Structure 1
Amino acid sequence: MTAQLDLATVLLLHKSSFLVGAFCFLYARWQSPRDEGLGILASGFLFLALASTLAGYGEQKLLPPYLWTLSSFTLGIGGYALFWIGVRRLSAGRRRLADWLALCVPVTGALIGLITHFQVVNYIRASVFNATAFLFLAASAVAIISDRSREPLPARAMLAAAMAVGANLCLAVVIGLIKPGIVPITTTYAFFLSIICHFAIALFALVLVKERAEAALRRSADTDALTGVGNRRWFLAHLPKSSWQGDCLIVMDLDHFKRINDRYGHHTGDQVLLAFADLVQKNLRRGDSFARLGGEEFGLYLPRTNKAQAFAIAERLRRAVEELQVVSNGQSVAVSVSIGLTAASGTERSWEDLFNRADAALYAAKRGGRNRVASDLAPAEPEPLVLSLDRAS
């Protein structure tokens, strides 16, 4: 198969792969509202396409050797430097000014070329170029994998693999130029395989952007826009479908919240909701689920927790809310919460039964004067038990 590969055709396809990748990145950048490094990736591929074009003209004797060797070398290294910067931004999702120091590599290479003219010697120029490409591609693969724990998207593994294969192809070219015969692959065949890698890199980079957008939509659908905690849909989805015996459900309602809105304004009401949600989140245990169910009502699911433990947790939260300081327009806003809890006995037919019992306990806490915790009793007993406390609001 190696003998059937024509170098001129391979170089044309090599350049075309960069152009196609660049246009894919530009289209995705146009469609994406976020700056995810796609524009920089497109610039890197365009630089590499231009470098490949100049090299092709040079091989056809259409340009002076000194001109095309230096320009194609500098543009090619610059393209890989831009590629690495774009990958870093794509992977991390944020700008890092220090990444632009990578452009010092092509600038330094151009200066050395102007002084020493090393680029005129083909095997030296090709060796240095492919060695640098290997380093940038390998570093890009590491960057993609390193951010996987923060954003575990499936496309990361495939994108990193495509970059790793491309890096190894560049390394194989370097070894083949320095020690011919050691690597069982010709430079022409390595260029051919790298074309596939370029398409794969462009493909999986776009898939990564698509997966990220879909994950953001799922988070948006499951997250309360104001407080940032889960919403009712998310909360219900995270409750176990069965075998909830030994778990507890807590429903909380901020006291006199309408009065806060009427007296201080809705902006202050939003501040109260944010402060309350933040306080509860800071007191969650591993495995607990907390969400805003609607308005000023919140839910808390406590797995593997008996009623006594749940009561202690609820009382600790109640006291913390009572001490919460929310200041609006120089005025301190008093905040308190009524809490109803119930424990699953295993006889419930659905979570609706538990919610009804927790709601009944919550209403008992409100009837008892608010700012207190109430627990439901056995079904035969007429009224939930209310824990009376010093201060009621």
Structure 2
Amino acid sequence: MTSGLDLPTVLFLQKTSYIAGALTLGYLRRTSTDSRGVGLLAASFLMLAAGATLAGYAELYPALYGALSLVNIALAVSGYGLLALAFVLISNPGRKFNTWYVFLPAAATLVVGLATDFHLDNTYRAATFTLLGCLTMAAAAWVVRRDASREPLPIRKLVAAILAATSLLSLVMGLEFSFQSFPVLDVVEGFSLMILSKFVLAIAIVMFISERQRVKIQKLADLDPLTGLHNRRSFNANAPNNPQPGDAVLFLDLDHFKQLNDRHGHALGDEVLSTMAEAVQSVLPPSALLARHGGEEFVVFLPASAGDALLHAERIRKTVSGLRVSSLGFEVKVTTSVGIARALHHGSTLQDLCRRADRALYLAKAAGRDRVCDADRDILQKKFTTRAWVHDDPSN
């Protein structure tokens, strides 16, 4: 690699890259509602820029060389400490950490510097600066990659890769400064690559926060805010439009839910819905898709591989009938009615299964509630009479 730039120009561009990165991150911090840690990252860039500026002044004013060099290395330690903490918080905004702990190593650096004058040696200072960058970048890469199990954003791999590459670059530069030999990268080349890495890292963080917000917006669009289940739109998007023979749809409806709301209030009604959703989800196989269809009605898609839909429906009914929900001194017992419809042949549609399951649910409620109605068995055998339809309103 060759460069047409001299070292002073490269060092100026390095400071410029820190400032540009800080401005970008500062703007992101002001405009994003989910940007914990971004402000710290911007502050770390500014500290590193200030440190680099003081290093330049130290060369211009020999009388102040010792003081400026010591402050320079202390700012570097603080800046990289803030950088590591920033990535810890950006990767997982829920983490708790006292920011002031980050400045303890900088205070220790000042004490050691005053006692040993190690900062007066350019080799020590440059090696400390770059090796510290290597450690913090490596730690940040590890944290970002590890948190993928909690929040599997695809952008994590890119951010972790940039951090790891920057860490490796810092390691190479640190070793070369330590031995005063530059067989891999000369000083200008190394600092040029560091400048590029800072620009790329700032852009990657903007992409990271944007992707996190996009995922959250998608969840808000797909999930029911009360129960955390899929909503009707998400159910229709995720269940197959053309179910295979044996696939089934179950419609569930809480019995007498309107009377429960009227008697005990909507707060208890919401608690009942949440409790039921959690209970039903706990007894369904992993391959099932459970969604809140609207109001007190839920829908389940069961692939044929999940087993007998009737057995699952009965398990759901028994689980719900065993629930007791208490609030404000009241304890209520809830039950559910279930309608089942299966895909009997190729060419069945999800809409058709939902319509038949809803019809079966209506008949289950008309027959007395707290029961399961199988569209392929009970409706065809005409077990429910017109009399039941007329005298028992199944709408609640």
TM-score, structure 2 length as denominator?
Answer: 0.92
In structure 2, the CA distance between the partners of 1:369 and 1:4, relative to structure 1 (3 Å rule), is same
Identify the residue that residue 147 of structure 1 maps to in structure 2: 147
Conservation of the 8 A alpha-carbon contact between 1:337 and 1:370: yes
SS at match of 1:299: strand
Distance 2:49 2:249 in 1: 61
Distance 2:311 2:245 in 1: 19
Conservation of the 8 A alpha-carbon contact between 1:5 and 1:189: no
2:27 matches 1:27: yes
2:320 matches 1:295: no
In the comparison of the two structures, how many residue pairs are matched?
A: 386
Q: Deviations over 1:336-361 (max 9, x none)?
A: 10000112112444111111111111
2:199 matches 1:199: yes
In structure 2, the CA distance between the partners of 1:63 and 1:5, relative to structure 1 (3 Å rule), is farther
Identify the residue that residue 344 of structure 1 maps to in structure 2: 343
Which residues in structure 2 correspond to 1:20-59 (within 5 Å)?
20-59=20-59
Identify the residue that residue 332 of structure 2 maps to in structure 1: 333
Instruction: Report the CA distance between 1:261 and its aligned residue.
Output: 0.8
In structure 2, the CA distance between the partners of 1:330 and 1:144, relative to structure 1 (3 Å rule), is same
Conservation of the 8 A alpha-carbon contact between 1:374 and 1:385: no
In structure 2, the CA distance between the partners of 1:271 and 1:21, relative to structure 1 (3 Å rule), is same
Amino acid at match of 1:232: R
Conservation of the 8 A alpha-carbon contact between 1:248 and 1:344: yes
* RMSD value, Cα: 2.1
2:11 matches 1:11: yes
* Structure 1, gaps ≥5 residues long: 387-392
Conservation of the 8 A alpha-carbon contact between 1:84 and 1:140: yes
Distance 1:8 1:288 in 2: 64
Conservation of the 8 A alpha-carbon contact between 1:248 and 1:341: yes
SS at match of 1:251: strand
Q: Deviations over 1:66-109 (max 9, x none)?
A: 11110010001110100000000001122332676443322222
Conservation of the 8 A alpha-carbon contact between 1:175 and 1:183: no
Which residues in structure 2 correspond to 1:61-72 (within 5 Å)?
61=61, 64-72=64-72
2:321 matches 1:322: yes
Conservation of the 8 A alpha-carbon contact between 2:25 and 2:38: yes
Which residues in structure 2 correspond to 1:112-127 (within 5 Å)?
112-127=112-127
Which residues in structure 2 correspond to 1:95-106 (within 5 Å)?
95-97=95-97, 101-106=101-106
In structure 2, the CA distance between the partners of 1:100 and 1:239, relative to structure 1 (3 Å rule), is farther
Distance 1:325 1:105 in 2: 55
In structure 2, the CA distance between the partners of 1:3 and 1:335, relative to structure 1 (3 Å rule), is closer
Identify the residue that residue 132 of structure 1 maps to in structure 2: 132
Q: Deviations over 1:327-385 (max 9, x none)?
A: 12212112110000112112444111111111111111011100101101269935368
Conservation of the 8 A alpha-carbon contact between 1:248 and 1:306: no
Which residues in structure 2 correspond to 1:357-376 (within 5 Å)?
357-376=356-375
Conservation of the 8 A alpha-carbon contact between 2:245 and 2:344: yes
* Structure 2, gaps ≥5 residues long: 386-395
In structure 2, the CA distance between the partners of 1:229 and 1:243, relative to structure 1 (3 Å rule), is closer
SS at match of 2:148: coil
Amino acid at match of 1:292: R
SS at match of 1:5: coil
SS at match of 2:376: coil
Instruction: Report the CA distance between 1:116 and its aligned residue.
Output: 0.5
Conservation of the 8 A alpha-carbon contact between 1:306 and 1:343: no
Distance 1:243 1:63 in 2: 82
TM-score, structure 1 length as denominator?
Answer: 0.93
Identify the residue that residue 311 of structure 1 maps to in structure 2: 310
SS at match of 2:250: strand
In structure 2, the CA distance between the partners of 1:347 and 1:95, relative to structure 1 (3 Å rule), is closer
Distance 1:363 1:239 in 2: 22
Distance 1:165 1:385 in 2: 70
Identify the residue that residue 89 of structure 1 maps to in structure 2: 89
